[in-house]
Structure 1
């Protein structure tokens, strides 16, 4: 009978009496810093960005008498593809109809995502996706299993087009009632509906939503599109399928609860801070002030529309808006930020620590320590990136206040698009840094999540514990 051999991954430990411990460990191949899934996502967006930049530089993409430089085209394409909404000039005034169509297509591609866009194409062609692509989609959009990934992707596409279609019809009616020609009203309806649902914030009215700040229907439609785009298809469709709050997964419950709390709390705080500001909401009647406060509380998460001049907000309101932009929307949605799931998990972990508990429990469910550590990595990484880009943009900006620079920094990193002005001053250094911030904000959290969930060999060796003084 042959003696069974230990697996190659095992450790051989020999002990000598009163001697040292010898550990023979098989040397493992170094793991790549970035997995194939992350590289596929980044390469797909890079191709779309290059194509979009080239198309926006075409003379026919600009209005008569205008030209678009490489940096301006790259900035606009990045902003559209990252569904941010930052602009270096007015979209309606600078771009032709073709240019606006290109921007809209980039928004749609960026909102649905490269992999989901590929899924729709393959679905139409009747082809199948590979296992790696399915796993990437599952991690990004939250499909519960590998077998359901394709059906979830198709449902997300239908969910997106349904909301955008209904929103376009409603907005078309409102713009038509405002006196716009039929064709222009229809185009405005489609453009703003797609921009709102994808949380992009691009507008072709010439002055954002400020001309329509008294139009309840138009602003309500845009706010609803932004909310449902920021929630993502999975939680909404899961709720519709189960029709029961108790049967929802914990992830979906936290998304709905945190989003509702941020909208209600944001409305109250924004209204209280700006109630008497005649340059924003203070000039309208009290009933409409509350509605505008609601609209402005929804937009930082993470659309870039605004019904009031952002540069006229009080500094304390800007600081509060920065917090909303940093949090963002739900994972797997069109929103940016560190995501409401990360924010809610950190709150739960903080409360558990204050109470002296070893487990973080919410809604009768225990959160694994690994997930809390991942949330902490995303949040601390986000804070570090905000400080780094804020410092760089402060150096590059000329005479801008720090609160305005930080506002635009978090807006770019959170793919929001609200701006107090620094990105539209014609400063090339600021434009380049903002481009980098938008790319980091859009793809940074995705790459981190994909890499933290990538399969790796687990170590069987544990180091001895020790303590560090805190406080």
Structure 2
């Protein structure tokens, strides 16, 4: 009887205090996540003696012990152990292993992993612990709710803040001594490189392959991956958090941006985006791996795989970073046409947009179209595919004709065709180059700037004003010239709300490019208008092509390009989110006025 009363009292105590206890545990978990991250940054960012490395590893292992204790407390506070474990299965598996490893250490005085797997050393063991720590970070962030209503930022500002945070973190990491081969990079060059990577631009002030160490290159690759996904995943994540907080308005904002009817399944969209990105990039790694020619010699399999991974991820995210000093114009690589086509395929896929890929390849959509032949791809998907194909083919033909007797003069017919196609694809947002850009003719440079300004498609890893924006503006102008009242695509009417947004995006982009060009001409008077304007369009369109002036820019010039890359990456999205707010209708309207236009 006493036992039953004790159990009842304990259950009531847990039920009454589980909320505040859970909040305290979550806050402590965030602290230990931050502490562990800082510890790892200090460990990898500086060189240490062997004794200090062992001490840092020991402190890090004790940090992981907190997650064992916190998970046990969560189980104790939960009303259903099985439900909690099922809900946090990844955290449960990691914590269980760490707990087993801790017990083994207390009993035997040695590490479980090192005893069971004799081919592993202490460095491999520590790498495994870091992998576990990353899993714990994600599970902790998932468990910790954020009261967004208390944050005085709208969704557009939160999105901009996410990119800004990514750039700042990248700048701090790249400035650490161990990230470069010799000494530390200057703060402005670290900021420039971090911005270029996070905004998937590809403009560089130092050679990525020789100036940065392996750790620095991994940081750049992480920034590229996060920056490529950020545009869509952060928007969806914001929507899911707002939805959790009960804000239908924010869910509607993300619904309008994503052009989807799914309001209550935003987390599923986010999950699909990440899955698509990982699968495509994994396949792309092997596509690039088997595309290297015999002229490119690698030390071993690991070296070749790393180069394949770096260039595949850079291509899919439309970043344009390369480990070769001359990019893909490097001797031995400039005529590797299978490699060029493999990278071009990844650029195109990454530039289409995740929702377009989902509409085309999702099993549910494919089966639905097969069952109902009258169902077609979404208008947005068809428009993106049509405009993308048109720009690629027309750009390749024009490049072929303009450069036939110039930069393509010594190439074979196959080389001319592949190079023309590759330049047409990479110019729109990726930034890889297989030719010497300085040798291009003026008409070709103008063509490049036009393609860079248009860029990739909405919701993709690329930049620019977007293919759909260009298409709607062109079709709207053509409709006006023909005296048509409506803009139509594929027998569907385009609302004037979207047309107005299109002109707003175009006007804003042109205005910002003009402003930044004006400022850069003042800051860099030694360069002529052509090279400065090309640099600005490339930065604003997050392309990464240059006529060779980027490393020679002053601190002021680099700062201007940093702002151009940042605003060019988030500008159209932030503006789109801001314009998706509720339209305010009034009960009155002023009399019409007559204006002379044109």
**What secondary structure, in the 3-state scheme, does the structure 1 residue paired with 2:327 have?**
coil
- Aligned to 2:397, which of 268, 276, 283? 268
CA contact (8 A) 2:276 2:354 kept: yes
The Cα shift of 1:421 comes to: 1.7
Question: What per-residue deviation string (whole Å, max 9, x for no partner) do you get for residues 320-347 of structure 1?
Answer: 1000000011111111111011100011
* Structure 1 residue 172: Cα displacement: 2.4
Asked if the contact 1:35–1:451 (Cα under 8 Å) also holds between the matched residues in 2, the reply is no
Q: Map of 1:5-404 to 2, 5 A cutoff?
A: 36-63=154-181, 65-113=182-230, 116=233, 130=245, 134-135=251-252, 137-175=254-292, 177=294, 178-181=296-299, 182-211=301-330, 212-240=333-361, 241-242=365-366, 247-277=376-406, 280-404=407-531
Offset of residue 72 of structure 1? 0.5
Q: Which runs of 5+ in 1 are unaligned?
A: 1-33
Q: Do the aligned residues in 1 keep the contact of 2:175 with 2:187 (CA within 8 Å)?
A: yes
After superposition, give the CA deviation of every residue in 1:285-326 in whole Å (9 maximum; x if it has no partner): 122101100000000121010111112111110111000000
Distance 1:88 1:470, change over 3 A: same
Q: Out of 208-217 and 316-325, give the one that drifted further.
A: 208-217
Which stretch of the first structure deviates more once superposed, 380-389 or 93-102?
A: 380-389
Q: CA deviation at 1:171?
A: 1.8
Cα pair distance change 1:45/1:209, threshold 3 Å: same
* 2: CA distance, partners of 1:62 / 1:88: 14
Unaligned runs of 5+ in 2: 1-151
Q: Report which structure shows greater RCO (CA 8 Å, sep ≥6).
A: 1
* Residues 165/104 of structure 1: CA separation in 2 closer, same or farther (3 Å cut): same
Residue matched to 2:124: none
Alpha-carbon distance in 1 for matches of 2:303, 2:258: 35
Offset of residue 36 of structure 1: 1.0
State the shift of 1:458 in Å. 2.4
Q: What does 1:372-451 correspond to in 2, within 5 Å?
A: 372-451=499-578
CA contact (8 A) 1:72 1:88 kept: yes
The 1:250/1:120 distance shift into structure 2, 3 A limit, reads closer
Q: 1:431 to 1:167 in 2, by over 3 A?
A: same
Change in Cα spacing, 1:246 to 1:310, as seen in structure 2 (3 Å) is: farther
- Change in 2 beyond 3 A, CA 1:130/1:296: farther
Q: Aligned in 2, Cα 1:421/1:228: closer, same or farther, shift over 3 Å? A: same
Contact 1:120 1:154 in 2 (8 A): no
CA apart distance, 1:145: 2.1
Q: What displacement does 1:169 show?
A: 1.3
Structure 1 stretches of 4+ moved >6 Å: 117-123
Counterpart-to-counterpart distance in 2, 1:456 and 1:357:
25
Of structures 1 and 2, the larger Rg is shown by 2
Report the CA distance between 1:120 and its aligned residue.
8.5
More helix as a share of residues: 2
Report how many aligned residue pairs link the two structures. 433
Give the alignment's Cα RMSD to 1 decimal: 2.4
Query: Following TM superposition, by how much is the alpha carbon of 1:428 offset from its aligned partner in structure 2, in angstroms?
Result: 1.2
Q: Indicate the residue corresponding to 2:132 in structure 1.
A: none
